[in-house]
Amino acid sequence: MKNKVVNVILSGGSGTRLWPLSRKNNPKQFLQIFDQKSLFQHTVLRNQEVSDEYMLITNEAQFSEAEKQGSQIGASIAHKIIEPIGRNTAPAIALAALSVSEETILFVTPSDHMIENGECYKSTISRAIALANQNFIVTFGIKPTSPHTGFGYIEFDQEEVVKFREKPSAKEAELFLEKGNFYWNSGMFCFKAGVFLDELKKSAPEMLTACEKAVASMKNGKVSLDTMQKIPANSVDYAVLEHSKILKTIASRFCWTDLGSFDAIIDYYQDGNQVDNLQEIKHKEGNSYVFSAKKVVGAEVSNLVVVDTEDAILVLPKNKSSVVKDIYDKIQNGNTELT
């Protein structure tokens, strides 16, 4: 009998690198600006053909918006886990694994990435499910398009994981690109629920015990604050993957972007994709880009990014959108109504 495949969608972040578009009450994954859909909606639609059901792991503030946006595209969320506080990806995935049968295949994905939904994607996921059925934990490496220092890397040999590499220096990233067997770590995973829990028990037994108590406390999908606070916080990479001996990786060649900055969205737009309310002002020394619902006209301006919202306007040089998180941190410390 075929094992059920559940797409576990992780949705808890606030997308601070896209402030002021992304806010606590309307974070990055729910911005309906990508051809009138959100990244969350694109994730759900993309995984309809490769999974049987959905499970959403989120917080109270985001759940109602996820439900609303799911209904807009005719999708229902069969399972939900609502965390009162975040404890990083390892506990979130453990809660998911404890909520289904041991033989269920979990296909874990972030809610805020954009991936080309074609045959390459479907065949990649199909291969991952086949490996998961053989009791492997599967990771997905994305062929890098640049020596990016903001992503972790997977060093691989065929489908074998050689080593996980943390975010590298610029020099290291260039070396990774030259070698050719270092791919970006996509943050997607595939495995049987029981296999993941067995590995967690070996590497972080105290986390597993705390997660078991948290699942026992759940009512209508909501985890109690008391049990959640007692779960050690850690990423799945540190808690499980770096210790596991049953890893596989798939060198995935579909188009992938985390759209985690304004520059990344502009690159996505320049590739011919639809981004609503993004306007381009052309200049011989470099084009500027304006995110605004208003019609914007400019002259003699070059290499600027302008983000216009109801209560804030952000202006910064193009290719410098990495500073937005620092700006957000300063605002958060003194002007919380803008967060």
Whether residue 65 is found in the same domain as residue 90: yes
Whether residue 38 is found in the same domain as residue 98: yes
Sorting pLDDT into bands at 50, 70 and 90, what band is 13? confident
Whether residue 143 is found in the same domain as residue 182: yes
Whether residue 93 is found in the same domain as residue 148: yes
Q: How far apart (Å, rounded) are the C-alpha atoms in residues 131 and 252?
A: 14
Domain's final residue, options 257, 286, 313: 257
Q: How far apart (Å, rounded) are the C-alpha atoms in residues 124 and 107?
A: 12
What is the residue whose two structure tokens read 């994607």? Answer: 121
Q: How many domains is the chain partitioned into structurally?
A: 2
> So what's the pLDDT on residue 74?
95
Q: H or E element: which one contains 192?
A: strand 182-192
**Strand ranges in 39-180 using DSSP code E only, listed in sequence order:** 53-59, 79-83, 105-110, 114-115, 137-142, 153-157, 160-165
User: How much of the chain exceeds pLDDT 90, in percent?
Assistant: 89
Longest dimension (CA), the chain: 65
Whether residue 274 is found in the same domain as residue 176: no
Domain's final residue, options 257, 291, 312: 257
> So what's the pLDDT on residue 97?
98
Whether residue 269 is found in the same domain as residue 252: no
Whether residue 85 is found in the same domain as residue 9: yes
> So what's the pLDDT on residue 14?
82
Q: What are the pLDDT digits (tens) for 308-321? A: 999 999 999 999 99
Task: Compute the mean pLDDT over every residue in the chain, rounded to the nearest whole number.
Answer: 95
> So what's the pLDDT on residue 282?
94
Whether residue 134 is found in the same domain as residue 274: no
- Residue range 279-294: average pLDDT? 96
Which CATH number belongs to the domain containing residue 185 in this structure? 3.90.550.10
Whether residue 186 is found in the same domain as residue 292: no
Q: How far is the CA of 144 from the CAs of 139, 141, 214, 270, in angstroms?
A: 15, 9, 38, 18
> So what's the pLDDT on residue 261?
94
Domain's final residue, options 216, 240, 257: 257
Sorting pLDDT into bands at 50, 70 and 90, what band is 2? confident
Whether residue 33 is found in the same domain as residue 98: yes
Rg of the Cα trace of the chain?
Answer: 20
> So what's the pLDDT on residue 67?
93
pTM for the model stands at: 0.94
Whether residue 43 is found in the same domain as residue 154: yes
- Residue range 26-45: average pLDDT? 97
Q: What are the pLDDT digits (tens) for 151-165? A: 999 999 999 999 999
Q: What are the pLDDT digits (tens) for 182-193? A: 999 999 999 999
Q: Domain of 136?
A: 5-257
Contacts of 296 (CB under 8 A, 6+ apart): 279, 281, 290, 306, 308
Whether residue 200 is found in the same domain as residue 127: yes
